[in-house]
Amino acid sequence: MSAKAVLIPVFALAALAFGLLTALALTRIGVLRSGAVKPKDIALNRNWPDPIVQLANSYASQFELPTLFYALVVLALVTEKADRLLVALEWAFVATRFAHAYIHVTSNHVPRRFFVFAAGFALLVLMWAIFAARIVLS
């Protein structure tokens, strides 16, 4: 499998993180400029309006479970164990991360958000299990 095919889902997930950070920065700047929030009120990262907290939490979650995804992709490339199945699972995982972020910053419906998170978690566990089996059994 080409490195390009394996890495494009990684680029998509990184774009999600960059997009969330950009939205977070613009939203924070907007409420500060409007005077709705004073710098002294948020000096310890508290007292942001709920939509900003949702964005911040969604952005932060891009450095939790996805960290294991990034590590897996690098290891699969280095060991030359990446194939079409891995790429398909990568895209499925990335789709769950986009869905999770969308739910997080819109309705923030926790049961739905949890279901999408759990699906992504299951996909990532499956990817790691397949990769581990390929390493151990080769």
68, 120 Cβ separation under 8 angstroms: no
**pLDDT bucket at 47, cuts 50 / 70 / 90:** confident
Q: What is the pTM of this model?
A: 0.95
CB atoms within 10 A of CB 15: 12
51-62 pLDDT, tens digit per residue, is 999 999 999 999
Domain 3-136 bears CATH identifier 1.20.120.550? yes
**pLDDT bucket at 46, cuts 50 / 70 / 90:** confident
Q: CA 1, 61, 77 angle in degrees (round to 5)?
A: 15
Going from N- to C-terminal start, the domains of the chain cover 3-136
Say whether pLDDT at 97 is over 90: yes
**pLDDT bucket at 45, cuts 50 / 70 / 90:** confident
Say whether pLDDT at 4 is over 90: yes
Q: Would you list the DSSP string of 78-138?
A: HTT---HHHHHHHHHHHHHHHHHHHHHHTT--HHHHHHHHHHHHHHHHHHHHHHHHHHHT-
Q: What distances in angstroms separate CA 131 from CA 39, 75, 81, one per listed residue?
A: 48, 9, 7
Say whether pLDDT at 120 is over 80: yes
**pLDDT bucket at 102, cuts 50 / 70 / 90:** very high
104, 58 Cβ separation under 8 angstroms: yes
Alpha-carbon distance of 92 to 110, in angstroms, equals 21
Say whether pLDDT at 73 is over 90: yes
